[in-house]
Amino acid sequence: MNFLARRTIREYTEEVVSEEKIQEILKVALFAPSSRNKRGVEFIVVRDKKTAAKLTECKKIIQNMPLEADFSVVVIADKTLSDTWIENSSVALTLMQLKAWDMGIGSCWMQVRGRVDKNGIDSEEVIKRILEIPEKYGVLALMTFGYPKEKKEGYEFSEVNNDRIHYEKY
Ligand SMILES: Cc1cc2nc3c(=O)[nH]c(=O)nc-3n(C[C@H](O)[C@H](O)[C@H](O)COP(=O)(O)O)c2cc1C
């Protein structure tokens, strides 16, 4: 895979992602590395448009991606099982994005944790109500997926600031 070609995709075509491809993405997520190999991260696949419409309103700044995407995956983790639930969820999200990209499927990370909706209600609580998620779970983010409508250039190595890499000492 060409990692510099990977981009976040927020606009999607109408093409349906096959169930097999969705399973391939989820399989990678299920085996994502996790602290002490606890594997406490769980995934809720949302395809229903009515539910997707509700998800668009989970944050103050409305993003229509869940509605326009072919499907979304809400990433949740049992907070009582692992104190690294945020890190574990992040790894799973990242792997899903890379696996999807490798299959020609675009995706976008939509942050939930630490956000509020237009009424000031915690976005995690909003999502938990919509999807009937038990209290002990944290909701880090959701990821929207679909075949890319927008075309984005990949990155060039020369664009990044090499000063961020340190050797031996800061
Ligand atoms: C932790 C995290 C949170 C993000 N939250 C959002 C978000 O809420 N909405 C959104 O449109 N993009 C979100 N993104 C996507 C970033 O905006 C995107 O990765 C960044 O602009 C770089 O673009 P690229 O992925 O094409 O390289 C998020 C990405 C990360 C890693």
Q: Which two tokens stand for residue 21?
A: 């491809």
Q: What is the pLDDT of residues 147-160, one digit of tens each?
A: 999 999 999 988 88
Q: What is the pLDDT of residues 53-66, one digit of tens each?
A: 999 999 999 999 99
Q: Which numbered atom of ligand 1 lies nearest the CA of 10?
A: 11
Average pLDDT over residues 73-93: 98
User: Per-residue pLDDT for 162 more than 90?
Assistant: no
Residues at CB less than 6 angstroms from ligand 1? 7-8, 10, 63, 108-111
Question: In whole angstroms, how large is the CA radius of gyration of the chain?
Answer: 17
- Which of 2, 4, 8, when mutated, tests ligand 1's pocket best, judged by the most ligand atoms within 8 Å of its CB? 8
Looking at domain 9-151, which CATH architecture does it have?
Answer: 3-Layer(aba) Sandwich (3.40)
Q: Residue 67 has what DSSP assignment?
A: H
What are the residue boundaries of the structural domains of the chain, listed by start? 9-151
| pLDDT at residue 52, rounded to an integer | 98
